[in-house]
Structure 1
């Protein structure tokens, strides 16, 4: 099933004509209504009327997170205050948050792309959606909520936290779709299992997971735990929120970008050159219909690739690969570039571990130091009489070191800790702990 056949199955010619028209309108809007964009376009000698084809978008300057923060809070708005009906903010951990504004048309557009996303994931009008994303300034909760209602689903605004209540709602209200961060969904399964609840016997059939990078191995784990189809959803507060792209449950092979509202490019983060289809680089998005706070060539920092071709689900929209990490999350360990998602993929090959891990970064003089912390699973821990000094624990540690060396090409210290020792998250999982930054903040 496809929510909007006309827009999601367009021919390439139809799509490009629509995108170009929307792009021209957006450029005219920001040039006439926003001083930052007008000055930025003037600096590169481009006027809105100079953009005559989609390829001309490459003449436009990039927008960065720093630009957004430098113009905090309202310096990138392109709508008057009386037209703005809502604000949201990023969940970023450093510096000022990025503020997104929405007109009534923006909210309607957002609900539309989320409704499309829920249908792509398997949701239907007659279904019930358990929404465990956070409500409030974070875009996840309200974004999925409005999309569910746009589709006509019964939408349960559970939000994050209170895991006991979440379990009760799943048991009693019998939703068929769950929306959450993958790390929280795994935590939910862990608590249910501890209560003796068979997670495969719930009413859930589909899961929409996002807001953090997760691997194919985590997908397999979620699907096995809950007996569901698990799909990845992508979005950014700066662009609109979740719903920019979504996997379809038929293929689970790349996320369909809602191209009638968002134009996507992939660039080399060093040279800033646009990369050809299939090559991995930094995702860049331009909003084509956003009114209140549009973005022009926004550098997301996310690493992905794009590819075209009709999907077996029937959609013709461009698909982006699942993000493999962020430009600023990439670790350089003894000269080797490593993304946390690659570490996660490797660890999930070790059946004696729980899915929870952390990478601790520190400085030894001027030398970077990285240590890995992983949890032994409860069954193995009980078999070793709850002793981390047991011979079997040492064997697991060697197994972890071997798989990290073979898969990620690095040798790092591995620390095995007791079950449920590492912190759980009710939102985005924290996988990297920079101890040198924490020390600096204490001074």
Structure 2
């Protein structure tokens, strides 16, 4: 069942709405954001030249570097007195990206998150335990207000305090748990250490996001916790969580709420659009943002788009689970690799847990890769044979093998109580 009629619009009807909103967005950005006005003037383009999404390709792209160059508020399109809230990225790689919201923006955000929750199978009256971080990070408050918009009950516990998470989940009989996929597995491990059977916890749905989740990791989450695992996607520069979400009926890609966010997929090297169904970098344009309209934002996330009508009845396009990032490319001894490629190969092998770590070193002029993989809890086979299987599979699929492969016991790779898990450690600089 859809949350609002637009989710099942005829594609022609949806296109008319997108065209109208894109024209308004371009005009708003041109008139109120000097950055975009300068970019469009350089191209000799005015808002009158944009009739609809068919003209999108002539618009300039926006990058994370643009956010940092225009720090803190160079991309804002409204006056300070019209801004209701500010959020920011972590800023771990430089200046944080500051994002702003009017009250109307916050209302839209609550709506698309509620829409995502409904698609995931959550309902009014459910109890949702929110383990995303509160504060400048958009995850916590984004999910929080979406839960309230849906008419469900929110437990604003935030990230960390995992034993407390388990206790409250049990005592308050939470229906839905929101967190990163790696934290879901950490919760299962902690519950076992506390003497609980993770599969007996009251939650029936886990909505995970903020980091990629491979199919083996999803299967592990669903099996160990006996839940339905739903992937939600978003990013602060666009709005936060709620840009897209899987539906519980199909779990076959994440529906992008296209009445608010227009998607493209491009070749990350050339910037040109790829053929429908081909993998590339996701580019998003906001269609209704007031405080921070964003034109053709290069997300860096690799995915595909599927325009077939879903079995759930929604007609809005589905993006595949993000397989990695275009800027995560590793170059080791002249070989191009994405961590997600290694992850998909390794974690699909029986006896391997969904936890791994890549360490890169430099010895003289040579690149050295060390791969650490955890054994599954139930693995009782021959360790040398498992190691040989992993190396052979990597060689066959990727034509590459690490210089060193370490198999460690369950729990042997460092866990984190909060935030995203770092998988790659580059020690070469």
In 2: Cα distance, 1:109 partner to 1:366 partner: 52
Cα distance, 1:330 vs. partner?
A: 2.1
Supply the distance in 1 between the matched residues of 2:105 and 2:15 (Cα, whole angstroms): 21
Equivalent residue, structure 2, for 1:386: none
**How does 1:240-319 map onto structure 2 within 5 Å?**
240-319=239-318
Hey, what's the Cα distance between the residues in 2 that align with 1:418 and 1:92?
A: 34
Instruction: Out of 281-290 and 84-93, give the one that drifted further.
Output: 84-93
**Secondary structure in structure 2 of the residue aligned to 1:292:** coil
1:375 to partner: Cα distance: 2.5
1:230 and 1:377 map into 2 onto residues whose CA distance is 20
Instruction: State the SS of the aligned residue for 2:259.
Output: coil
Task: Find out whether 1:79 has 2:78 as its counterpart.
Answer: yes
State whether structure 2 residue 411 is matched by structure 1 residue 435: no
- Deviation (angstroms), 1:134: 0.7
Alignment: residue pair count: 427
Instruction: State the shift of 1:343 in Å.
Output: 2.1
Number of the residue aligned with 1:28: 27
CA distance in 2, matches of 1:42, 1:362: 46
8 Å Cα contact 1:333/1:410 also seen in 2: no
Moved more, 48-57 or 87-96: 87-96
The answer to whether the aligner puts 1:402 opposite 2:392 as a matched pair is yes
Matched, 1:176 2:166: no
Distance 1:313 1:378, change over 3 A: closer
- Is the CA contact 2:116–2:245 (under 8 Å) kept in the aligned structure 1? yes
Mapped to 2, the partners of 1:167 and 1:64 lie a distance apart of 40
Match of 2:202 in 1: 203
| RMSD, aligned α-carbons | 1.6
Find the aligned partners of 1:427 and 1:345 in 2 and give their Cα distance. Answer: 22
Corresponding residue for residue 48 of structure 2: 49
Paired position in structure 1 for 2:67: 68
What TM-score, normalized by structure 1, do the two folds share? 0.93
1:104 aligns to what?
103
1:388 maps to which residue?
Answer: none
Aligned to 1:423: 414
Shift of 1:249: 0.8
Q: Would you say the 8 A contact 1:324–1:339 is kept in 2? A: no
What is the alpha-carbon distance in structure 2 between the residues aligned to residue 49 and residue 102 of structure 1? 26
Which position in structure 1 is the counterpart of 2:2? 2
Distance 1:250 1:409, change over 3 A: farther
The 8 Å contact of residues 283 and 300 in structure 1, kept in 2 or not, is answered as yes
Distance in 1, Cα, partners of 2:203 & 2:213: 20
Alpha-carbon offset, residue 422 of structure 1: 1.9
CA contact (8 A) 1:307 1:318 kept: yes
Q: SS where residue 425 of structure 2 aligns?
A: strand
CA distance in 2, matches of 1:59, 1:392: 58
Structure 2 match to 1:59: 58
Q: In the aligned structure 2, how far is the partner of 1:92 from the partner of 1:307?
A: 33
Q: Matched residue of 1:211: which SS?
A: coil
List per-residue Cα deviations over 1:361-411 (Å, max 9, x = no partner). 12223332211012334565xx7xxxxxxx943333223222332343311
- 1:358-373 to structure 2, matched below 5 A, reads 358-373=357-372
Deviations 1:416-441, CA, capped at 9 Å, x for gaps: 2344232212211100001124xxxx
Q: Distance in 1 between matches of 2:351 and 2:395?
A: 18
Q: Distance in 1 between matches of 2:195 and 2:124?
A: 32
Q: Does the CA-based 8 Å contact 2:127-2:176 persist in structure 1?
A: yes
Contact 2:29 2:36 in 1 (8 A): yes
> 1:2: how far off?
1.4
1:78 Cα shift?
A: 0.3
In structure 2, what is the Cα distance between the partners aligned to 1:92 and 1:234?
20
Which segments of 5 or more consecutive residues in structure 2 lack a partner in the other structure? none
CA–CA distance in structure 2, aligned partners of residues 236 and 160 of structure 1? 18
> 2:284 and 2:365 mapped to 1: Cα distance?
37
Map 1:223-242 → 2, pairs under 5 A: 223-242=222-241
Q: Secondary structure at the match of 1:140?
A: helix
Q: Distance in 1 between matches of 2:290 and 2:83?
A: 9
Deviation at 1:305, TM superposition (A): 1.1
- 2:333 and 2:366 in contact (8 A); partners too: no
CA contact (8 A) 2:282 2:300 kept: yes
Is the Cα contact below 8 Å between 1:336 and 1:409 reproduced in 2? no
CA, structure 1 residues 320+379, in 2 after alignment: closer, same or farther (shift >3 Å)? closer
Q: Residues 265 and 274 of structure 2 are in contact (CA less than 8 Å); yes or no, is this contact kept in structure 1?
A: yes
Task: Give the Å deviation of 1:163.
Answer: 0.6
C-alpha distance in 2 between matches for 1:158 and 1:58: 43
